[in-house]
A and B are shown apart, each in its own frame.
Chain A
Amino acid sequence: MNLRLIKQRFMLHLDPILLSGLGALLLVSLLTLYSASGGNEMRVFGQLGNIAIGFVALWIVANMPLHWLMRIAVPIYVLGMLMLIGVALFGEISHGARRWLNLGFMNFQPSELMKIAVPLMMAWYFEKHEATLTMKNYVIATLLLLMPVALILRQPDLGTSILIAASGFYVLFLAGLSWRIIGGLLVGAAASAPFLWNMLHDYQRHRILMLFDPSQDALGKGYHTIQGMIAVGSGGLLGKGYMQGTQTHLEFLPERTTDFIFAVWSEEFGFVGNLFLLGLFAFVIGRGFMITAAASTYFTRLMAGSITLTFFTYAFVNMGMVSGILPVVGVPLPLVSYGGTSMLTLLLGFGVLMSIHTHQRLVKT
């Protein structure tokens, strides 16, 4: 067996350009985690473990032919919905929210699975009805989206439900939902805001109110926002230097290794560091758009577009929250924040992107 064949079978399905972008972001993650944890190698090794698991998943998915993805869309979505209903009925309560399902051997968070399953299902649905798309199809696709979102919002998990809603909306948008309806939806959303407000939990309302006046709760949630902004702002043009951030190392900054890791990076590497980081994100997103544009089928275009845009949404919501232009909703910085589940889902998503890219290239040649 010659080397080329082995390469073709196992390696060809990775996209080196995208891979280099992801690698750079993950290096940023390890570097910042070491500082944020006060020089604790355990966090770095922990994250390396998360990355390793994520990459195995990425590699497996990237090597899956596209028609496999099509075939598993429905079963995965149905399984995810069943588990979400299971969570609502018998979920484990942890920190006041019902998000986890005890499978006996492990605790599983079905809402994470839905981050992939929802756009996959919707893209599959549009592909099936590609030739004869009517208004009815958009309505059904919207329902496919709203059911899991409503269940996750009830858990309550505002951050995840926003991200899933966004990922589904991107599919609808890319599938050509008419501008008139989008306009109508926006008006409808504005009109239903008071109703949604009532559906939110007290602490979620509190967090949104905090956005307007973080100082009113200096001991509670407002503290997060204030300290995050101080960390970012005091970083200045060039930053305070690696491991030198006072906000970070004097422990003013909450959730330093998870939701607020962007503040750590900002404080130590300044505006220049932020331009670099935003550049990395732009690079990965740009590559995602290129893959989307080159995708050959309706299904893969929708899927690739949604994954890319959702990744961007993740990043924007997190950085917006840390820099004080969005409320604190508990969304980690993708690929950078510490965490196994989000790392796995994200890298799975990129695995899908790579599969889309590499498999059609094979088809062409």
Chain B
Amino acid sequence: MLELTGITAGYDRRDPVVRDVSLRVAAGEAVGLLGPSGCGKSTLAKVAALLHRPDAGTMTLDGTVIRGWRHRAPRERRTAVGVVFQQPRLSADPRLSLRELIAQPLRSTGRRRDVPERVAELAPLVGLSEELLERRPHAVSDGQLQRACLARALVLEPRLLICDEMTAMLDASTTAALVAVVERYRAASGASLLAVGHDRVLLERWCDRTVRWGEPSNGSERPAVG
């Protein structure tokens, strides 16, 4: 499904954040990527989500070698990967209501007609009431906003879901609810998952296997050096 080989990435070519990292997520598999804050997990997640071009290394997605990131990646490839970010406040456009937030990917891909149906399907799934859907981000809590962000990531039915510290800002019950939503979606669709975080207990329970940043794990994989 997803294969990252020898990825080096960062924001300054002379001082990359991620050095020579490899990672594999098989079809339908849930992989947890563990590591301390600031080690480059999020950067690696952005590379995998086609949002950050690496300086070196190769990435394959569904058997295709990726040659372009961000807008240089074809739209269908970008939307095959759904992303949930760590901070819901920053990852929601403050001018949009939660309903519009969830609908954005549909509108971006010319599926405007599906908006009422898909939003009506997803909102109860992530636990958002009709009344909350009309509110704008400043009028809801972090947990409610993250629920909407998860719905947005699922609205195009991605084959790979990347959760970058999705639950770091949330309380235990919201965390449990969101993890359950992800697992229900994966059971229904067979999608793969890359969950990035530093909560070892959570990721070990949630994922089929976890990879620890900075330690060589089983055989071919060498998740990190730097």
A associates with B: no
Residues of A with Cβ closer than 8 Å to B? none
Residues of B with Cβ closer than 8 Å to A? none
